[in-house]
Amino acid sequence: TEHQHARYNPLRDDWVLVSAHRVKRPWQGQLEKPPPEDVPRWDPNNPLCPGATRANGEVNPQYEGTFVFPNDFPALQPDAPEPGNSDHPLFQAAAARGVCKVMCFHPWSDLTLPLMSLSEIRAVIDTWAELAAELGASYPWVQIFENKGAMMGCSNPHPHCQVWASSFLPNEARLEDRTQRQHLSQHRVPMLLEYAEQEAERKERLVVENADWLVVVPYWATWPYQTLLLPRRHVCRLQDLREGERDSLASIMQRLLTKYDNLFEVSFPYSMGWHGAPTGPYLDEDCGHWQLHAHYYPPLLRSATVRKFMVGYEMLAQAQRDLTPEQAAERLRSLPEVHYKQRDK
C-alpha cells in the first residue's frame, strides 16, 4: 500500500506498475464536465428511441423491451473483398468480415442498467445470450460491449450496447485463448475458475458476490476501479448459463453498477464487454480452457471530473496505477447498494 511494485496479469501475459504512494499527489490536470442529468425519457430526434427515424431512413418500432437492429455505420460488413496478396512480410493484410448490431436495453432514454428492474436486466441478459448463439453459429468471435458515458466516446445517452461478430479472433481474444490454454495445460484447472476460487477465499479484492457470481477488482487491474465479473461454475459461453444463473447475474450486475454510480454520485462511465470461448468453427473443438467473464473498465480516478489517462509511460512502457486494487475494492465494497437517485424514495 505504500511502495511501488509490479504485478503480473496472467490473462494478458503482461505486467502493471502499482505506485500506491502517488495517489496522494495533488491534481492540477484536466477536469471533465459532469454528464447532463436532464436526459429526456423520449426524444423524436434520438435515433435509438421507439418510433424515431434513424440515419438510413428506417423507423424504429414502438418497442417496449430490448430492441436489436443492424448498425447503420458498421465497422464490419459480411461481403468485404479480399485485400490482395502482400509483396513483403512487413506489409501484411488479411480479410476482415462480419456484422455489427446495436441493442437497446430499454425504451426510455433516462434509464441506465442499475436503475432498471431485475426483470428488465434479465431480458437484456437473455438477448445477449440469443445474439451470442445466433451470430456464433457462423462467426468465430462475437463481441458484446457497452460504452457508457460521453467520456467513453458514447454519443447517445440512450441505454444500449453493441454486438460485433467477426470472421477472425481479435487480438484480446487470441491472447486470452493462448494464456488460458497454457494455464489449463500446466495446472489442470481453468485459469479464471481457479482465480475466482482464490479471490472468494481471500476476499480482499471482492466487491460483491452471490451464490453463482462474484465481482472483484482484479489483482492485476490497470484502471482505478476496474472490475472482473466471474461465474463460480465452469461456464464457457454466455449462452450456456442456466436460468438461475441468469437471474443471479441480473442481481449482481445491478448491485455492482449501483455501487459504481454511488462512488461519485454520477452516472458512472465505463467500457464493458463479455469474453467467452470462441464460436463458429470452434464450437466443435474442446474449449474447456475458457471461462466466461466480463471486464469493466471505468476511467474515473478521484471524482466525477477527474479521470485516469493512459498516456506517456502507459503508452510507451507498460500500464501504471496509483491506487492499489485492494484499496479500490475496499472503497467499492463499502458503498451502499441503494442507488443515490432512489434513496429518498
Residue 170 contacts residue 143 (beta carbons within 8 Å):
yes
Calculated CA dihedral for residues 58, 62, 67, 71, nearest 10 degrees: 10
Segment 80-89 mean pLDDT? 91
Q: What is the pLDDT of residue 115?
A: 97
Could you tell me if residue 16 is inside a domain? no
The residue assigned the cell 451470430 is 135
Look at residue 211 and tell me if it is in a domain.
yes
To the query of whether residue 3 is one of the catalytic residues in this protein, the response is: no
Domain range holding 324?
A: 41-79+94-337
Q: Span 253-263, mean pLDDT? A: 97
pLDDT in the model for residue 303: 86
Going by pLDDT thresholds of 50, 70 and 90, the confidence category of residue 302 is confident
Question: What pLDDT score was predicted for residue 217?
Answer: 98
Written as nine digits, the cell of 82 is: 479480399
Residue 319, annotated as binding a ligand: no
Question: Would you say residue 31 lies in a domain?
Answer: no
CATH number of residue 133's parent domain: 3.30.428.10
Choose among 199, 206, 225: nearest CA to 298: 225
- Residue 308 known to bind ligand: yes
Mean predicted confidence (pLDDT) in 241-262 = 98
For residue 22, pLDDT over 80 is answered with: no
Residue 322 three-state SS:
coil
Which uninterrupted H or E stretch holds 122? helix 118-136
Domain assignment of residue 27, yes or no: no
pLDDT of residue 103: 98
**Cell numbers found for residue 228:** 472482473
The C-alpha cell 441480473 sits at: 250
Residue 29 has pLDDT above 60, yes or no: no
Encode pLDDT of 36-52 as tens digits.
678 899 999 999 999 99
Q: Considering the domain boundaries, does residue 165 fall inside one?
A: yes
Whether 263 is covered by a domain: the verdict is: yes
Residue 19 lies in a domain: no
Helix (H, G, I), strand (E, B) or coil at 309: coil
Is 95 within any annotated ligand binding site? no
DSSP letters, 43-102, are -TT-TTSTT-B-TTSPBPP--SS-EEEE-SS-S--TTPPP----SSTTS------EEEEE
pLDDT exceeds cutoff 90 at 77: yes
> Is 259 part of any domain?
yes
Domain count, the chain: 1
- pLDDT score at 3: 82
What single letter denotes the amino acid at residue 101? Answer: K
Identify the active-site residue in 160, 183, 289, 339: 160
- For residue 277, give Cα distances in angstroms to 135, 217, 292: 13, 22, 7
214-241 per-position pLDDT tens digit: 999 999 999 999 999 999 999 999 999 9
